[in-house]
Amino acid sequence: MMSVTTSDAEPSGSAAEAYVRFEHVTKRFPANGRRGAPLTALRDVSLEIARGEVFGVIGHSGAGKSTLVRLINGLETPSEGRVHVGPHELTALSERERRGVRRDIGMIFQQFNLFQSRTVAGNVAYPLKVAGVERAERDRRVARLLDFVGLLDRAHDHPEQLSGGQKQRVGIARALATEPSLLLADEATSALDPETTGDVLALLRRVNRELGVTIVIITHELDVIRAIADRVVVLDDGELVESGSVYEVFAHPRTEAAARFVGTTLRDRPSAATLARLRRTHSGRLVTVRVRDRSGLQSALAGTFLRHEVAAEIVFGGISELQDRPVGSLTFELTGPPGAVDASLAALRADGVELVEED
């Protein structure tokens, strides 16, 4: 079994043990050419990844995500600050000791990185061979892993005979072969279509829940984070601009960078073009209400509009879920007697409802 089991888990409510810890990490790369300034890929990043969680890192291309991964597995060293993995502070280790730490870390990649000349079983067996695991034990583990990822019947096929999703499942089986405690997934679903992405994410969830493997998932896709992560950090141009539970960060983004991710995925306020279209067919006041996990929001809205004799029609919006909690927005067209709409909006604001008048 994997070295981390649920029996290691902290009792819920107390802070879980940090498994990966960044302390004020800055990573600079030398200038490209003589006159360029050094490039800062990560700037003063501090974070903690707990044992047993699925930790998301989201950011646009060039934000520093892959650099962060390479600092965790010791392929890069920080220019300033410290990276701890388990009990080790990586900069204090020799290259040989770093390799030891790396053996406890599995990796999966966007392009799968499988050996085309080896069979599916051969790919999964490879890291075991390198680790010197003897033949019979190797065969047993490969069979168990292929069974776990649902590819036992494809053991003797070559990668080119597989779909993208199947290739990534082989990648996952191979990454798990040495029974790592940590799995780093760098854009692991970015080359897959949405349905296959869902299957691979479901498999990663099982890797986390059933095998107790801590997962760090690097992506530019919010949907991936929504589907699988417990907590998330947002990287923007080398800086860690937000961190928290997936719900906190995306239901209440505090920075523009996080809000940009949310705006493209979660239903938010109508765009200028949508508003213009709505105005052509709706003459009443347009008001957008933010929907979050506040109990009784719908009845507060209905009751208030009724009391003030305001007619409310939903003209735009929607509600989806983040970590099983509602998030979204609803745009209403409000019509009623003079002063009634204003009075109803004042009452809702006093009641703590978040709303904006569209102008």
> By C-alpha distance, which of 38, 53, 92, 86 is closest to 238?
38
Binding mask 9-48 for ligand ADP (x = CB under 6 A): --------------------x---------x-x-------
Task: State both tokens at 277.
Answer: 């279209």
Residue 359 C-beta-side C-alpha neighbours within 13 Å: 0
By CB under 6 A, is residue 75 in contact with ligand ADP?
no
E strand or H helix at 332: strand 325-335
| Rounded alpha-carbon distances, angstroms, from residue 169 to 109, 165, 272 | 11, 6, 43
CB of 288 to ligand ADP, least distance (A): 32
Which of 211/224 has CB closer to ligand ADP? Answer: 224
Q: Smallest gap, in angstroms, from Cβ of residue 70 to ligand ADP?
A: 8
Phi/psi of residue 314, nearest 5 degrees: -75, 125
* Contact between 252 and 76 (Cβ < 8 Å): no
Q: Does 107 bind ligand ADP (CB under 6 A)?
A: no
257 lines the binding site for ligand ADP (CB under 6 A): no
Among 12, 61, 116, 299, binds ligand ADP (CB under 6 A): 61
Residue from 3, 10, 24, 62 binding ligand ADP (CB under 6 A): 62
CB of 29 to ligand ADP, least distance (A): 3
Q: 119 or 190: whose CB is closer to ligand ADP?
A: 190
CA distance 59 to 220: 5
| Residue from 9, 23, 66, 285 in contact with ligand ADP (CB under 6 A) | 66
Q: Is the CB of 67 or the CB of 197 nearer to ligand ADP?
A: 67
Per CB under 6 A, does 64 bind ligand ADP?
yes
- Residues 227, 222: Cα–Cα separation, whole Å: 9
Q: Is 73 in the site for ligand ADP (CB under 6 A)?
A: no
Nearest to ligand ADP of 157, 237 (CB atom):
237
| 59 near ligand ADP (CB under 6 A) | yes
- Where do contacts with ligand ADP occur on this chain (CB under 6 A)? 29, 39, 41, 59, 61-67
